[in-house]
Chain A
Amino acid sequence: MDAEALLDEAVREAGDRIRAALAMRFRDLDMAEDAFGFAALRAVETWRRDGAPRDPAAWLYAVARRRAFDLGRRAQVRERAVHDAPEPIPDPETILMAAFEPIPDERLRLIFICCHPALAPEARIALTLRTLCGLSVERIARAWLTTEVAMTQRLTRAKRKIRDAAIRFEIPEPDQWPERLEAVLATLEIAYAQAYEDAAGVSDAADLARESLRLSGLLAELLPDEPEVLGLAAMIRLAESRRPARLDDLGAMTPLSEQDVGLWDAGLIRDAAGLLRRAADLRRSGPYQLMAAIHATHAARRETGATAWGDVVTLYDILLAVRPSAVAEVNRAVALAEAEGAEAGFQALAAIDAPARLAEWLPYQAARAGLCAKAGRQAEAADALRRALALHPAPAERLFLQRRLADLGKTA
């Protein structure tokens, strides 16, 4: 294997662990990032010249650690304004000789720091994807429709706050645990929502979806006794299992009820079922388990050929009781239409509060269009479709909505 491929593999397998270990050891996210970048750069040239090390991950960690020590020493020297001769950067070969220490697993602590509730939600996501997953600033900026400069500023501000407000590099105390864990779960949920939104997701959202699967899986592995953590991991797996079925041959979005269940990823569905079983054994329900259960009810169509819409409505009722949201209300109305008829669904949708805000929300207009069409209210359906199309849908959804509008024209 050549040096670059070896580096890619080592970063893929142990990058998060190395980054987390460096951040915790030096209590400095910037220094960890710089040191890791330095080690990766040195790796390619050294490995090409001298051959592959026995343990590439341990090599990277050792070189990065040494680099961070030097960066720290130089910063101290600068602060004391003593002008020593600059330290030569140690030759990586000498570091090879130094004792390798096993890379400690500090990923959980790093997740808790990056997702601290005192940081703005968008900063938490960016920090997690940058610091733990090693995604480039440019990539993160693109996902959240902002510029690289703005994203760099956001990250810098977050890191400065961690340092200056003294966010502790520790696992939260028991009395703060629920709030801190909730912040972590919400961060991963929003990050995944971004990946899910793009139905195409073959290239651009694919890496975000992959990181969401990985992060939620990692969290489930690190916190196996937290049922909501297992619930979130299950939810992401179930939603992601449908990705291959979400677009038709022409690139239009295929709604859940019309998807070819044969295309769903059976492996992910099986993983999710296992996670949900373990969560249920812990006997502490919560919104993430409920949302996963709703997804699981849909996934069961793969086996049974039919959706238990009554169960879906019941689950939404429970979810709304523990975590009210307009999203859940809209989805409940759609499920109700399937369970009890279009008119019931239409009435439930019309009864949702805050219609002014909902009117500008694409999923609401799309759901309204579907329910109106089913209830025989063609003119209202067409109005909802036109409103939805005006709300900048993604290309796949635009195609779908345009097709529905054309179908309405035929029946009218």
Chain B
Amino acid sequence: MQYLLLIYDNDAETDPAALQEIVAAHMRLGAELAETGARVGGNRLRPADTATTVRTEGGVKSLHDGPYAETREQLGGYYLIEAADLDAAIGWAKKIPGGPNYSIEVRPIWPLS
């Protein structure tokens, strides 16, 4: 069973020194995921102000400068993992490092049969 772990955080909140430590912690987590065979993929994303949203309304497509939703916390990265069940996926989600305030959304992958 695969899960996407989406990291929502606020870049502006984290000071550069702390950020360095968080990046290092991500590297360690990535190694641990790879070691246990749980790692399928994952990446850090460029800040939300680099995002472009392609919106379709009434069948008409238009471009918007910015992320899908303007919220305080933004999608900053993700891990795609293999886990036996939701508890195991939540276990990994709790290990994802970050600043003082951030959220991890755990979403099961809907397999293409």
Chain A contact residues, CB within 8 Å of chain B: 116, 118, 164-168, 170, 172-173, 175-176, 180
Q: In the complex, A168 Cα to B87 Cα: how many Å?
A: 7
Which residues of chain B are near A173, meaning CB under 8 Å?
A: 87
Which residues of chain A are near B87, meaning CB under 8 Å?
A: 167-168, 172-173, 176, 180
Q: Are B85 and A166 in contact (CB under 8 A)?
A: yes
Known interface pairs A165-B86, A167-B86, A168-B85; 4 further A-B residue pairs with C-beta atoms within 8 A, sorted by A's residue number: A118-B106, A166-B1, A176-B91, A180-B87
Counting CB contacts under 8 A, is B112 at the interface? no
Q: Are A118 and B86 in contact (CB under 8 A)?
A: yes
Question: How many chain B residues touch the partner (CB < 8 A)?
Answer: 10
Q: How far is the CB of B14 from chain A (nearest CB, A)?
A: 27
Counting CB contacts under 8 A, is B67 at the interface? no
Residue of B84, B86, B108, B110 contacting most chain A CB atoms (<10 Å): B86
Looking at chain A's contact residues, the main secondary structure is loop
Q: How far is the CB of A111 from chain B (nearest CB, A)?
A: 15
Counting CB contacts under 8 A, is B33 at the interface? no
Counting CB contacts under 8 A, is B90 at the interface? yes
Which residues of chain B are near A118, meaning CB under 8 Å?
A: 86, 90, 106
Q: Can you identify 21 A-B contacts, CB atoms within 8 angstroms?
A: A116-B86, A118-B86, A118-B90, A164-B108, A164-B110, A165-B106, A165-B108, A166-B1, A166-B86, A167-B86, A167-B87, A168-B84, A168-B85, A168-B86, A170-B85, A172-B87, A175-B91, A176-B87, A176-B90, A176-B91, A180-B87
Q: In the complex, A180 Cα to B87 Cα: how many Å?
A: 10
Which residues of chain A are near B90, meaning CB under 8 Å?
A: 118, 176
Q: How far is the CB of A134 from chain B (nearest CB, A)?
A: 26
Which residues of chain A are near B108, meaning CB under 8 Å?
A: 164-166
Q: In the complex, A165 Cα to B85 Cα: how many Å?
A: 7
The 4 closest A-B pairs by CB, nearest first: A168-B85, A166-B85, A165-B108, A165-B86
Q: How far is the CB of A164 from chain B (nearest CB, A)?
A: 6
Chain B residue, CB-CB nearest to A167: B86
Q: In the complex, A167 Cα to B87 Cα: how many Å?
A: 7
Which residues of chain B are near A164, meaning CB under 8 Å?
A: 108, 110
Which residues of chain B are near A168, meaning CB under 8 Å?
A: 84-87
Q: How far is the CB of B60 from chain A (nearest CB, A)?
A: 32
Chain B residue, CB-CB nearest to A162: B86
Q: In the complex, A340 Cα to B87 Cα: how many Å?
A: 49
**B76-92, CB under 8 A of A: which get 1 and which 0?**
00000000111100110
Which residues of chain B are near A175, meaning CB under 8 Å?
A: 91
Which residues of chain A are near B85, meaning CB under 8 Å?
A: 166-168, 170
Q: How far is the CB of B112 from chain A (nearest CB, A)?
A: 14
**B1-32, CB under 8 A of A: which get 1 and which 0?**
10000000000000000000000000000000
Which residues of chain B are near A166, meaning CB under 8 Å?
A: 1, 84-86, 108
Q: In the complex, A120 Cα to B90 Cα: how many Å?
A: 15
Which residues of chain A are near B84, meaning CB under 8 Å?
A: 166, 168
Chain B residue, CB-CB nearest to A168: B85
Q: In the complex, A274 Cα to B97 Cα: how many Å?
A: 45
Which residues of chain A are near B106, meaning CB under 8 Å?
A: 118, 165
Which residues of chain B are near A167, meaning CB under 8 Å?
A: 85-87
Chain B residue, CB-CB nearest to A173: B87
Q: How far is the CB of B92 from chain A (nearest CB, A)?
A: 12
